[in-house]
């Protein structure tokens, strides 16, 4: 029942609408027009006021025709850069860009698939549960749309986000993450005429970093210092250096431990080097970036998706990943979201691609999930 031509044409149309983060209004307007044409009620929340963008999260509701609990389907509308002027090519069943931009299958493949599924349901008058669609903004710049999403707009307590590569898996575990902002303060002085009067913030930061174990700490935990900026000139002792990093773990105690280890390394190094002086001094801010996801194997979202896959002669394995997604934020708010794959590859690069066949298979899976749920047959 999936209309391959319509799915392909709609994906191309969506991909070629500019929607880099904070600039999703144009693609949202197109999605809204399609959904209202299907009979959905469409609303926006007020997230744009908090993200500084031109658009808020879009929510669309279909009443369904079966008395079962609602579920939601979701994808994000924004893309990474370079995402302006995308020109889609299609050959041998594969979508690509012209090589000068990303393609935008992350995550417009999700939007095209979800719209196709709802079209099929309507055209064939299929059994359907109440369905709520959530299309978020600013996912690519810190999950900001999900973080500022107005939960009062939805009734569903579980659903599926289409924002992964693996079409044979459902993501059930993802780590929590902390952002770590460190400013090491020193004292400026002329590096040639009076270096003794200066205290190098870069030297102090380097000493602290040398004490750290970075990268993969264990199978559940990673940490990274990704940005270092500081100094003004080669002939000036640097008085300030800023470091931005993160720590992630599936285990919250481990996350706390590795975060504290980073904080203590910088604080101890500053104390050891300054003696009776006031610098170097470490100023550190830790922010929780997103909570972890840990969906039990017997949760309805997992059981339902697996039964639907089995009905199609497929298997769906639970997956553990190291990245974060809107699902993490929703999980922290009490909303369970299994993450399904659409087949996108090499995302966030100009080599990004996606196969129409994979999109079709994901559409069939989502359609079957709706059918199984509508029948009340997920056990």
Q: Which residues are catalytic?
A: 78, 139
Tokens of 181: 């902002």
Check if the beta carbon of residue 82 is closer than 8 Å to that of residue 101. yes
* Per-residue CA distances from 225 to 143, 155, 230 (Å): 20, 40, 14
**H or E stretch including 175?**
none
Check if the beta carbon of residue 186 is closer than 8 Å to that of residue 279. yes
Of 70, 81, 73, nearest in space to 135 by CA: 73
Give CA–CA dist 351/64, Å, rounded. 39
* Per-residue CA distances from 239 to 192, 195, 201, 233 (Å): 15, 12, 5, 11
Of 228, 209, 221, nearest in space to 253 by CA: 221
Collapsing DSSP to helix, strand or coil, 50 comes out as: helix
């Amino acid at each position: 029942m999936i209309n391959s031509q319509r799915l392909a044409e709609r994906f191309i149309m969506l991909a070629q609408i500019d929607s880099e983060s904070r600039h999703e209004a144009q693609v949202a307007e197109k999605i809204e027009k399609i959904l209202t044409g299907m009979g959905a009620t469409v609303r926006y929340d007020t997230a744009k006021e908090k993200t500084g963008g031109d658009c808020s999260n879009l929510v669309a509701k279909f009443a369904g025709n079966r008395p079962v609990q609602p579920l939601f389907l979701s994808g994000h509308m924004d893309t990474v850069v370079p995402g302006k002027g995308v020109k889609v090519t299609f050959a041998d069943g594969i979508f690509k860009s012209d090589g000068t931009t990303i393609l935008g299958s992350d995550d417009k493949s999700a939007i095209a698939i979800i719209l196709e599924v709802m079209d099929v349901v309507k055209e064939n008058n299929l059994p359907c549960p109440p369905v709520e669609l959530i299309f978020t903004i600013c996912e690519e710049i810190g999950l900001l749309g999900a973080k500022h999403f107005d939960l009062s707009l939805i009734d569903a307590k579980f659903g599926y986000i289409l924002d992964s590569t693996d079409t044979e898996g459902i993501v059930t575990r993802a780590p929590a993450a902390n952002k770590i902002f460190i400013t090491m303060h020193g004292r400026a002085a002329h590096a040639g005429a009076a270096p003794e009067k200066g205290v190098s913030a870069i030297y102090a930061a380097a000493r602290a970093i040398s004490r750290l174990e970075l990268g993969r700490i264990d199978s559940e935990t990673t940490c990274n210092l990704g940005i270092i900026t500081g100094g003004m000139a080669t002939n000036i002792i640097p008085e300030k250096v800023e470091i931005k990093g993160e720590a992630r773990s599936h285990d919250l105690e481990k996350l706390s431990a590795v975060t504290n280890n980073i904080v203590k390394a910088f604080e101890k190094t500053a104390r050891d080097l300054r003696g009776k002086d006031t610098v170097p001094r470490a100023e550190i801010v830790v922010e929780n970036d997103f909570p972890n996801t840990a969906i039990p194997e017997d949760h309805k979202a997992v059981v339902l998706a697996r039964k639907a896959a089995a009905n199609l002669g497929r298997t769906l394995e639970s997956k553990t990943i190291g990245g974060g997604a809107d699902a993490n934020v929703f999980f922290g708010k009490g909303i369970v979201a299994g993450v399904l794959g659409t087949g996108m590859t090499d995302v966030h690069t100009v080599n990004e691609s996606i196969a129409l066949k994979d999109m079709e298979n994901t559409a069939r899976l989502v359609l079957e999930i709706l059918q199984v749920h509508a029948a009340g047959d997920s056990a």
